[in-house]
Amino acid sequence: MSEDAAASATDIVPENVNLDDAEEEESKRVEEMEREASKLRELQAAAEKQENGSAEGDASVPMETEEDRALADQRSIFIGNVDYGATPEEIQQHFQACGTINRVTILCDKFTGHPKGYAYIEFADTESVDTALAMDNSLFRGRLIKVTSKRTNIHGFNRGRGRGGGGGYRGGYRGGFRGGNGGFSPYRGRGSPPHMALTPLRQWTRSMATAVYPFSKAVIVPTAPPPPISREGLRQGKGLMEFLKETLPTPEKRKWLTTYFSKRHPTRIQPGSVLTVTMNHAPNTFSGVLLSVRRRGLDTSFVLRNVINRTGVEMQFFPASPHITNIKILRRAGGESSNNGKAAGSRMRRAKLFYLRDSPEKMSAISAGAKS
């Protein structure tokens, strides 16, 4: 019996050894899974802790309510036609006399980042708004700016009609100068968190935008070269008027212009002389008293007056005109007549005898050769 028991014992031992090895391997796998689960729990706890920390940091900044925004809009003004190169500091200096300024906001395009040409100012009190409205149409950087009260936006009031989707993103940054210790934050909107100041899309669009745009002072506009001017012809008197002066009138008419109607020639015709002008059209002849002479080179003209059937008649003649065929001097002013080119008598006291229009007796006396 002892030998049989020993043989059976030796047969049972290997089976127990195999069972122990399987249990150990299974326990090792369980421990490894527990370690992985603990690591996952630690990572999850760290992520939750980080999220809670960021949420607490955001919660520390109080969010503005609709009432706060409405009150801020009541203390704000809208400024239109603002120069594109204006800075928030310059706008703050322009409206500094109106009151304490909390914030200056300049709107920019969301794609290019360029200013849109208008801005907002938020004052510390509503009394400053009334003072700022008086600066409407004031001059700022060479422009007349438009100053009005800022209206409060109502959600859904300005929503468009049609098949379009949601309202979408409307504009660029609402940054600018902040009064007090706020400093200058050009890219943060009111209530927007710091990490959302510039999205990757906006950064890419701003990097792709041109650095120089039409309203920038850095734009260099090439000027066209002036056309070449030939000054030799001007120095030699070869202009159009000089050419017409020599070719347009006939030699006889050039003689009239240089003698009869000259200002200093000894045989010039004085006002008060009696002349007869012959023309190649009706009326063929006209005689009258010389009232005035208008010396303008080729455009020189003179006025004759006569009384026909108790009616005063005046005519203006141009000596260089091709319609004038002859000018005859019947009587020179103040003396006897002749057409020999010699001056006779004394000159009249006036250069223009328009007063003869109101004195028909003097007109008749001059035409008859009597002393007036």
* Interatomic CA distance for residues 105 and 115, integer angstroms: 11
143: domain range? 66-151+171-208
Assess whether pLDDT exceeds 50 at residue 132.
Answer: yes
Residues 193 and 88 in one domain: yes
For residue 38, tell me if it sits in a domain.
Answer: no
Residues 260 and 198 in one domain: no
**pLDDT on residue 341:** 45
Residues 203 and 255 in one domain: no
Residues 74 and 136 in one domain: yes
* Interatomic CA distance for residues 329 and 302, integer angstroms: 13
For residue 288, tell me if it sits in a domain.
Answer: yes
Number of structural domains the chain divides into: 2
* Interatomic CA distance for residues 325 and 319, integer angstroms: 9
For residue 220, tell me if it sits in a domain.
Answer: no
Alpha-carbon Rg for the chain, nearest whole angstrom, is: 52
For residue 311, tell me if it sits in a domain.
Answer: yes
**What pLDDT digit, counting tens, does each position of 194-250 carry?**
444 456 666 666 655 544 455 556 656 677 787 777 666 666 656 666 667 777 788
Residues 193 and 75 in one domain: yes
Assess whether pLDDT exceeds 90 at residue 161.
Answer: no
Lowest mean per-residue pLDDT among 77-91, 128-142, 187-201: 187-201
Query: CATH number, domain at 180?
Result: 3.30.70.330
For residue 180, tell me if it sits in a domain.
Answer: yes
User: pLDDT band at residue 363, thresholds of 50, 70 and 90?
Assistant: confident
Query: CATH number, domain at 261?
Result: 2.30.30.790
Say how many C-beta atoms besides its own lie within 10 A of residue 204's C-beta: 10
- Residue 306 backbone dihedrals phi, psi, to 5 degrees: -145, 160
Residue 287, CB-side half-sphere exposure with 13 Å CA sphere: 12
Residues 204 and 279 in one domain: no
DSSP 162: S
If you average pLDDT over residues 68-92, what whole number do you get? 88
If you average pLDDT over residues 10-26, what whole number do you get? 66
Highest mean pLDDT among 120-124, 150-154, 341-345: 120-124
For residue 224, tell me if it sits in a domain.
Answer: no
**What pLDDT digit, counting tens, does each position of 219-232 carry?**
566 777 877 776 66
For residue 76, tell me if it sits in a domain.
Answer: yes
Q: Is the pTM of this model over 0.85?
A: no
* Interatomic CA distance for residues 303 and 316, integer angstroms: 4
Residue 256, CB-side half-sphere exposure with 13 Å CA sphere: 25
For residue 81, tell me if it sits in a domain.
Answer: yes
Tokens 């080729």 belong to: 298
**pLDDT on residue 189:** 47
Residues 269 and 144 in one domain: no
The bridge status of strand 143-144 relative to strand 139-140 is antiparallel
